[in-house]
Amino acid sequence: MTCLMTQLLIASLADTFDVEYARLAILLSFYATTEQTSFVALFCYRLDLFSKRTQYNWFTIAAIQSFVAKSAIAIFSLVYFCVIFFVRKEADDQPTNWKWFWKICFIPLVLALFAAQLYTSQILWQLRKKCCEQVRRSTIGSKNADALDKIEEMESVHGSGITSVTNQEIPILEEGFTIDV
């Protein structure tokens, strides 16, 4: 989608010789350049190069960086477009109909592109949570992790505290493991 919008903006530039289309194309191409941390995190995850804790850190950085950078690009490109086309009306003297195409299509296309980019940030965050769960399970052992899962499930059913949970509902924890309440 980014490539399609960039190509259409370059085609607009070729027809109108208006540099504003080139600026918008360059601005939208920044979407593709903000993926490096995501690629590194996914590469390390797929090849299992580092520990799950390190992968968890990579996914945390990648998800936050991806969300912040892509949000900033989307907001800036929408503001820049609105200033050029609606406030300063720089495209009004163009002999072609590209101005009408972009006035109608730019905002929905950028919003659709932003929604797709948010989905990728959400996937990175879910992979982060998966690594966190694997770290938690490896740190406290699977029996204790199952016990914590049961406690968390009962807390969601019984309320915020575990005071209403009876001893029969909590499985016995391994020796030496305590839960601070």
Please list the pLDDT of the chain residue by residue as tens digits (181 residues): 777 777 788 888 787 787 888 888 888 888 778 888 888 999 989 998 888 888 889 999 999 999 999 999 999 999 988 898 888 776 667 777 788 888 888 899 999 989 988 998 999 999 999 988 888 777 766 566 666 667 667 666 665 554 444 444 444 444 555 555 4
> For position 127, what pLDDT does the model report?
92
> For position 16, what pLDDT does the model report?
79
> For position 159, what pLDDT does the model report?
59
Tokens of 60: 């945390």
pTM of the model: 0.67
> For position 168, what pLDDT does the model report?
47
Give tens-digit pLDDT for 7-54.
Answer: 788 888 787 787 888 888 888 888 778 888 888 999 989 998 888 888
- How much of the chain, in percent, has pLDDT values that exceed 70? 76
Closest by CA to 13, choosing from 4, 25, 28, 31, is 25
> For position 72, what pLDDT does the model report?
92
Angstrom distance (rounded) from CA 84 to CA 91: 8
> For position 64, what pLDDT does the model report?
93
Ramachandran quadrant class, 166 (left: phi over 0; alpha: psi -120 to 50; beta: rest) = beta
> For position 6, what pLDDT does the model report?
76
In one-letter notation, the amino acid at residue 25 is A
Contact in structure between 91 and 19 (CB atoms under 8 Å): no
Angle between helices 2-16 and 98-140 (to 10 degrees): 160
